[in-house]
Amino acid sequence: MEANTRKMPDCPVEITLQLIGDKWKVLIIRDLLTGTKRFNELMRSVTGITQKVLTSHLRAMEAAGLVNRTVYPEVPPRVEYSLTETGYSLKPILDSMVAWGDGYKRKIN
C-alpha cells in the first residue's frame, strides 16, 4: 500500500519514521541532498544496497512525495532522481544526525 493512501499515524515521530525510518532511505536522501543522481550513481554511492532494494525504496519515496523521477526520451532511456521540496525539507534532520554522529564518534574514540 502506498504511503499516501494509508491512514497517517497520529504521532509525528511515527510519520517521519514511516517515511525515512529505513537506513537505506536515509542514505538515499543523503546522496540526493547534493543534487540530481542517476540510478547507477546511487547504486555506487549507497554502499551495500542491492538493485532491487534501491528500486523499491525509490518507488516508495516517489509515491510518498519525497523524490522526483525524471525519464528522458532517449535510447537507452536516461532516468534521474532528485529530491522534491518535501524531500529536501528533511535536510535539517540529516544535518542533526551528522552532528550527533560526529559527537558520538569523538566521544568513543
pLDDT in tens, 25-41: 999 999 999 999 999 99
Cα angle for residues 28, 32, 37 (degrees, 5° grid): 100
pLDDT of residue 6: 66
| Residues 6+ positions from 8 with CB-CB distance below 8 Å | 15
Distance CA 37, CA 32 (A): 7
List the domains of the chain with CATH numbers.
12-108 (1.10.10.10)
Q: How far apart are CA 36 and CA 98, in angstroms?
A: 21
For residues 84 and 69, the answer to whether their CB atoms sit within 8 Å is no
Query: What pTM was estimated for this model as a whole?
Result: 0.86
Those residues of the chain that have pLDDT short of 70 are 1-6
pLDDT confidence of residue 3 = 47
The three three-digit cell numbers of residue 106, written as one number: 569523538
pLDDT at 1: 41
Cα–Cα separations (whole angstroms), residue 27 to 6, 21, 75, 77: 24, 11, 29, 25
Write down the pLDDT at residue 2: 47
